[in-house]
Every structure is written in structure tokens, then in C-alpha cells.
């Protein structure tokens, strides 16, 4: 009898988590363990806070109020009330629920900062967060509430509230229920927060960083899919492969451009549809920009992603809290909770995503226009005039691209002062993360429609040019699509075809079959 493998375990220590660790917990349900080093650091940090709590001098977050109320002294007997009130009041989110994977990433990243020992919470707080993650309990977090400064206050407060046994959560079966009931069923004791702990649980950039890491993983795959789509469009339009030669890319040595050009060239290898310049053979001198410049556009997006990942790596290595315990044992206020570094790259990626979708839509449109498609029927219709083919699929792309251009408007240039002007400049990084996630969904749809359209173009070319076959990689993608989407014929309900292509792309199956086909010839698709 075959036994099911236990889920992998991610160990949280005093050092930075790897992006793969965050994805494993957020998306794959990996379990969480705390290292002995982390538990020691937590105990040492707590000892500093307990010493300061007994001090007669005011210490922010320990014996004072918060934000604009930092001048208010809080007596020892009211400090548990202070931390509880902080969490309750800041759990003020509104709007739609944030997806489970974002909340799990947010909680893991906050746990990672706690384990540095720089926040001053007790070990039991970290153990409780780990237990909640392991139990599959997901606090209900709302879209609106974070300004991306003083951390993602409201989203993090909703998580802290659940750890206190208050508020609403979803359990491992996605049932909505009171946090107290979910904790009880999992055998988790609700937290009673003491000095500094409520503040430590809500004062971080973990939500926007979590969304950045999730988005980066999605965009990396979509970049490969965009290269695949571009190559298939070049084939469908009987374009030239010569512009993707490696020596031409070295003349402008942007690393992302070289990767994308190599991907396109690899997919085109073995195609009967692309034209190769040779003696006595006439070919079009130049293809349109959306074909010829695909590596330059896709490559710029790759380089933008690389920059974003460098920012993410620095943020993963950070201990974001205010105040924070220094290496020599001081408790110091600081501004490290400001989300500007993460907000900027979230916005930067949204610009790249919009442009990737824009050039994809332009390639699709060329395949539908008889003036530019080099022999394909109008709109790839089976019986033009009676049938409309993929005419409205391009409309769908155009509508999405228009929305992505709006989503590319940066959130980080906005700032609305808050907390009686104490917090007078904020990053809006949480908003930047939310809109990037929506933009990625749109890009996936646009690229899937391009691939679907190119596959249909292959089938239509083979009707009149039976020896003109696409490359092995493109053919493998077309054949997989045909298991879910019929080939050309009289017009049919088109939306399910698009959804099937999107699902194959989302699940990684389209890229998998392309990579398998390329591997047989020793090539790859990065």
C-alpha cells in the first residue's frame, strides 16, 4: 500500500527565508518549524523588553500609546489592555477577502521577523503563529486597510486578532468560522498579548513583500510563456528567425534580452513555417516590431523582474519593526517599516506586465488581419463572412490590455497623511501589490489567447500548405490544446476555449509540454 508523503517542512531561523520557502508555505501547505537558534533569539529579545517594562522612563510601544498618542503614558496594569486594544482597533479592514496564499505568506514573513529576536515578543507568540499556519487556519483579511507605512497595519492586525481568538477565520476546509472555534478545534491556546507584542505583530511590510514574492514566481513563468507565444506567432505569420540569432543580441548586452531571444530561437528550431535567409531565396526584409522586437520587450521585463527580486532578497533579510531591539540591546524607533522600496518595484512590475500584454495583443491582431497575416483567412474564420473566427477573442485581449494600462499607473506616487499628521507620508505598497496580482491575471489571459490563436493558425495553414508544419515544441503545445479545444470549424461558443487555454497555462501544462519537446533536442525554455 502506498502512503501519502508528509508535507515538507520549512524551518524558520534567525536568518532570511528563501523565496521558495515562502511559496511552499503559502501555496503548498508546507509545515513550519522554529529553529533552536530562533527560540534563543526570541528569549533574549524578550528579556530586553521585560527590563524596559520595569523602567520608569517611557518606551514607545512598551509603556506609551501609539502613533500620535505616543506621548500618553500607560501604567503597568493597563498594558495588556493597550496591546489588545491596538490589535482590535487596527483590524479595520474592508472589502473583499484577500486570497489564502497572500495571508499565509504574510503570516510566515511576520513570523520570520519575530524569530530574529529584534521585536521583543515571547517565544509563545512565534509558536502560536507557526501552529496556526500548520493547522491551515487562515485569518480573514480584507483588501482595504493598509497604507503601506507603519507596515501593513490592518492586514497584520487581522492575523494578530485571530491569534488572540477573536475575529473570523477560514479553517483548512475553507469553512468560515469564529477564530476561537478554529483555534480550539486545532488545540491552540489563544494569545494574551503583553508589552510590545501587539505592536510587533502589526508593524511590518510582510503583506506587500508576500505579494511581491508570489507575483515574481507567477511572472517568471509568464515570461517563458510569452516567449513561447511570440515564437508561435512568428511561425503562424511565416516570419523570419534570423533576428533572434545570439550574435545580434550580444550587440546590446541586456541579459534578459539574450534569454528571451534564445527561448524564441529554441522554439522556432525545426519549423517549416519560418523563413531562413539563404542564397537565391527571397524573404521579407523585416518583420513587424511586435515580432522582431519581442526579445527586447520581453527581456526588459525579465531584467525588471531581476531587479525586483534583488529588492525582495534585501527585504527578506530585514527585521522590520518599530521600535526595534538593536544588537547592543537598545530599543530604538526607526523608519524601516516604510514600504517605499517594495512599493516601487511592485509598480515597476505592473508597467512591465502591461507592456508584455500589449505586445502580445498586437501579435494576435496581426494573425487576424488578411492585410498582415500572409495568407491566413480573415479572423482565422472557417467560413469568413458566415463565421467570425477569433475576431472577438482579440477584443477580449484589447479590453484586458486597456485595463492593464490603468493598473500600471503607480500606486506609490500617492500618499494620504494619516494619524493626525504623525504618519504624513505613506507608500501605498499594499495597493501596489493588489493591483499587480490583478494585472498578472490579465496577462495570463492575453498570452493564452495568443497561443490559442497561433495554434488555430497552424491548423488553417496546414489545409493549404500540408507540408508546412510548426516546430516540434509548437506542435506539442498545439496538440495539447487540441485535447481540450477543438480545431477550426464553424463558429462555436468561444469563451470555454479561452478558459481551457488559460487553465492549461495557469497549471503549467503548456510550458511543460514545450519544455519536454525542447529537451529532446537538447534545448530549453528559461
Question: Residue ranges of the alpha helices (H) in 334-464?
Answer: 340-368, 391-407, 429-464
Q: How far apart are CA 87 and CA 199, in angstroms?
A: 8
Place of cell 523588553: 49
Sign of CA pseudo-dihedral 176, 438, 343, 314? positive
Contacts of 161 (CB under 8 A, 6+ apart): 87, 88, 91, 139, 167, 179
| Contact present, 364 and 394 (Cβ < 8 Å) | yes
Q: How far apart are CA 415 and CA 432, in angstroms?
A: 12
| Contact present, 274 and 235 (Cβ < 8 Å) | yes
Q: How far apart are CA 473 and CA 452, in angstroms?
A: 14
Q: How far apart are CA 88 and CA 86, in angstroms?
A: 6
Q: How far apart are CA 394 and CA 450, in angstroms?
A: 9
| Separation in Å, CA 143 to CA 20, 81, 151, 159 | 25, 27, 15, 13
Question: Rg for the chain (alpha carbons), in Å?
Answer: 27
The cell for 202 is 502589526
| Separation in Å, CA 503 to CA 75, 308, 441, 510 | 57, 27, 11, 9
Place of cell 480573514: 140
Q: How far apart are CA 145 and CA 431, in angstroms?
A: 9
For residue 149, the tally of other CB atoms under 10 A from its CB is 25
| Separation in Å, CA 119 to CA 43, 122, 223, 262, 401 | 11, 9, 38, 47, 43
Q: Catalytic residue, from 60, 289, 395, 493: name it.
A: 60
The cell for 174 is 475553507
Residue 493 is among the residues annotated as catalytic for this protein: no
| Contact present, 233 and 367 (Cβ < 8 Å) | yes
| Contact present, 101 and 95 (Cβ < 8 Å) | no
Which residues form the catalytic set?
Answer: 60
Amino acid at each position: 500500500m502506498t502512503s501519502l508523503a508528509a508535507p515538507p517542512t520549512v524551518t524558520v531561523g534567525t536568518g532570511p527565508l528563501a523565496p521558495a520557502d515562502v511559496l511552499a508555505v503559502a501555496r503548498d501547505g508546507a509545515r513550519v518549524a522554529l529553529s533552536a537558534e530562533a527560540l534563543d533569539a526570541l528569549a533574549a529579545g524578550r528579556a530586553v523588553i521585560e527590563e524596559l517594562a520595569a523602567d520608569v522612563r517611557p518606551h514607545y510601544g512598551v509603556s506609551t500609546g501609539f502613533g500620535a498618542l505616543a506621548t500618553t503614558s500607560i501604567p503597568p496594569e493597563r498594558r495588556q489592555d493597550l496591546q489588545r486594544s491596538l490589535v482590535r482597533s487596527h483590524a479595520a479592514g474592508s472589502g473583499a477577502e484577500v486570497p489564502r496564499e497572500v495571508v499565509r505568506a504574510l503570516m510566515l514573513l511576520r513570523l520570520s521577523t519575530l524569530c530574529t529576536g529584534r521585536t521583543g515578543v515571547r517565544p509563545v507568540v512565534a509558536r502560536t503563529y507557526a501552529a496556526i499556519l500548520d493547522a491551515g487556519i487562515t485569518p480573514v483579511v480584507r483588501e482595504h486597510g493598509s497604507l503601506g507605512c507603519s507596515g501593513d497595519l490592518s492586514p497584520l492586525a487581522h492575523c494578530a486578532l485571530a491569534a488572540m481568538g477573536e475575529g473570523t477565520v477560514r479553517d483548512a476546509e475553507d469553512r468560515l468560522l469564529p477564530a476561537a472555534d478554529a483555534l480550539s478545534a486545532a488545540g491552540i491556546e489563544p494569545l494574551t498579548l503583553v508589552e510590545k507584542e501587539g505592536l510587533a505583530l502589526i508593524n511590518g511590510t510582510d503583506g506587500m513583500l508576500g505579494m511581491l514574492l508570489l507575483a515574481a514566481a507567477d511572472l517568471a513563468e509568464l515570461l517563458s510563456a510569452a516567449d513561447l507565444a511570440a515564437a508561435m506567432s512568428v511561425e503562424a505569420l511565416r516570419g523570419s528567425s534570423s533576428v533572434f540569432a545570439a550574435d545580434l543580441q550580444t550587440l546590446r548586452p541586456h541579459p534578459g534580452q539574450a534569454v528571451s531571444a534564445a527561448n524564441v530561437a529554441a522554439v522556432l528550431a525545426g519549423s517549416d513555417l519560418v523563413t531562413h535567409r539563404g542564397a537565391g531565396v527571397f524573404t521579407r526584409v523585416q518583420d513587424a516590431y511586435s515580432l522582431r522586437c519581442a526579445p527586447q520587450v520581453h527581456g526588459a521585463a525579465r531584467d525588471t523582474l531581476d531587479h525586483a527580486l534583488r529588492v525582495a532578497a534585501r527585504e527578506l533579510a530585514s527585521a522590520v519593526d518599530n521600535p526595534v531591539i538593536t544588537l547592543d540591546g537598545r530599543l530604538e524607533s526607526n523608519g524601516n517599516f516604510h514600504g517605499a522600496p517594495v512599493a516601487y518595484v511592485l509598480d515597476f512590475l505592473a508597467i512591465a506586465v502591461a507592456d508584455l500584454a500589449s505586445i502580445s495583443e498586437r501579435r494576435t491582431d496581426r494573425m487576424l488581419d488578411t492585410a498582415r497575416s500572409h495568407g491566413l483567412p480573415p479572423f482565422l474564420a472557417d467560413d469568413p463572412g458566415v463565421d467570425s473566427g477569433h475576431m472577438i477573442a482579440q477584443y477580449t485581449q484589447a479590453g484586458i490590455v486597456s485595463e492593464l494600462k490603468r493598473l500600471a499607473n503607480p500606486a506609490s506616487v500617492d500618499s494620504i497623511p494619516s494619524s493626525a499628521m504623525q504618519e504624513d507620508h505613506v507608500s501605498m505598497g499594499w495597493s501596489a501589490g493588489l493591483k499587480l496580482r490583478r494585472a498578472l491575471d490579465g496577462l495570463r489571459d492575453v498570452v493564452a489567447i495568443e497561443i490559442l490563436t497561433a495554434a488555430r493558425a497552424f491548423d488553417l495553414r496546414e489545409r493549404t500548405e500540408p507540408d508546412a508544419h510548426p516546430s516540434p515544441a509548437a506542435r506539442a503545445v498545439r496538440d495539447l490544446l487540441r485535447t481540450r479545444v477543438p480545431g477550426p470549424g464553424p463558429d462555436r461558443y468561444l469563451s470555454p476555449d479561452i478558459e481551457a487555454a488559460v487553465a492549461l497555462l495557469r497549471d503549467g501544462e503548456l510550458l511543460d509540454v514545450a519544455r519536454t519537446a525542447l529537451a529532446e533536442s537538447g534545448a530549453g525554455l528559461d
